Amino acid sequence: MPRADLSDPHQVLGIPRSASPEEVHKAFRRELMRWHPDHNRDSDHDPAALQERTRAIIDSYKALKAGRR
């Protein structure tokens, strides 16, 4: 699983700091589908790591949506 700085919401979502609100939302949906445990049941990824990454994605989206860039 690729390591991202989970403290940087932009890096977690894989977007530039200049991303528009629409780009933030698209990145959130993309990353959530990619890492959510329900979409990775048959993968070799550790379920706990998937949950951690999913929580980081959700938290990052909330932080950016709230305007804390």
CA dihedral sign, ordered 63, 65, 67, 69? positive
Q: Note the pLDDT tens digit of each residue in 51-60.
A: 999 999 999 9
Mean pLDDT (whole number) for 38-47: 85
Cα separation, 67 vs 50, whole angstroms: 26
Q: How confident is the model at residue 4 (pLDDT cuts 50, 70, 90)?
A: low
Domains, in order of start, for the chain: 9-65 (1.10.287.110)
pLDDT-derived band at 7 (thresholds 50, 70, 90) equals: confident
Dihedral angle computed from the Cα positions of residues 35, 40, 46 and 51, in that order, rounded to the nearest 10 degrees: 40
- Which pTM was predicted? 0.84
Mean pLDDT of 11-26: 96
